[in-house]
Amino acid sequence: MGEGGRRPDEGLSKSIAAAGVLHSPTGPIKTIWQVPEEVPIAILFNSAPYAVMMATPADLEDFGVGFSLTEGLVASADEITNLEIVPGDQGVEVRMWLRQPASAALASRRRNLAGPTGCGLCGIDSLAEAARTPPRVGDGLRVSAAQIHAALASLTPAQALGAATRAVHAAGWWTPADGLVALREDVGRHNAVDKITGRMLLEGKLPQSRAILQVSGRTSFELVQKALLAGIPMICAVSAPSSLAIDLAREAGITLCGFVRGESFNVYAHPERIT
């Protein structure tokens, strides 16, 4: 696996040209748009298929590692002994091999269903598993309202694929000390979060009690759950959370902010981190 930075083929914006017709007041005009790539990404552990996710084929090393973390299969990048990205005619395979005891724990899990871009919980076995709650996150972060606005303001200018296509989600990693550390984009919100947490895990920055996870869309239950497994204490989003996302954030000790736009935002859970 790569150490730090990005592999040469993974930092590129993934978009393709699509022909269409623009309907304007002056009449229809033939034109070309850039649209994001969306392909099946097969996740394999120890040569066995685990899940198929529809995703943007960029930063796939980050995606594989982050997916492994937010699925609860690994706690550190060292538990993945090898990772291969294998393009094919029908999609891309992300092949990973796990050390023990992670490999043994994998055998007790069953997940071999397709996950569309809007789904983060496909293929789990029970409602109890859907609501699994790891320990609460750390409490080392304190930020001002101005810093929360600064964090979200840094997100849009860094979205290269979003600027080209206006059709992808972004997840950013921001700290008071360093500002925007990294950003990942994907057609799926949960995929973007997996990619950014995977990058931070590969760089040895997880668990992290002093970072904000920035999300370009709404905050759903699975996004809060992913942040919880990564130990991230605060989520700030440009749109609203769901009721279950709020419940989990309150239980897990995560500060959850929504509608971070203009000069205001809403705080749905644990406002004590905001000074």
What does the pLDDT look like over 181-194, one tens digit per residue?
Answer: 999 999 999 999 99
Mean pLDDT of all residues in 223-246: 94
pTM of the model: 0.87
Q: Is the pLDDT of residue 1 over 90?
A: no
Q: What torsion, rounded to 10 degrees, do the Cα atoms 99, 100, 105, 106 define?
A: 30
| Percent with pLDDT over 90 in the chain | 68
Q: Which two tokens stand for residue 146?
A: 């101005």
> What pLDDT does residue 110 have?
54
The CATH 3.40.140.10 portion of the chain extends over 145-273
Q: Is the pLDDT of residue 116 over 70?
A: no
Q: Is the pLDDT of residue 114 over 80?
A: no
- Checking 241-245 for CB contacts under 8 A at 24+ apart, the result is 241/268, 242/218, 244/220, 245/219, 245/220, 245/221
Lowest mean pLDDT among 57-71, 144-158, 195-209, 244-258: 195-209
3-state secondary structure of 57: coil
Residue, of 7 and 24, whose pLDDT is higher = 24
Q: Which active-site residues does the annotation give?
A: 119
Q: Which fold has domain 145-273?
A: Cytidine Deaminase; domain 2 (3.40.140)
**Mean pLDDT, the chain, integer:** 86
Mean pLDDT of all residues in 138-148: 92
Which CATH architecture describes the domain 39-130? Roll (3.10)
Q: Is the pLDDT of residue 117 over 60?
A: no
Name the residue type at position 244: L
The CATH 3.10.20.10 portion of the chain extends over 39-130
Neighbours of 106 (CB within 10 A): 19
pLDDT classification of 104: cutoffs 50, 70, 90: confident
Mean pLDDT of all residues in 136-159: 93
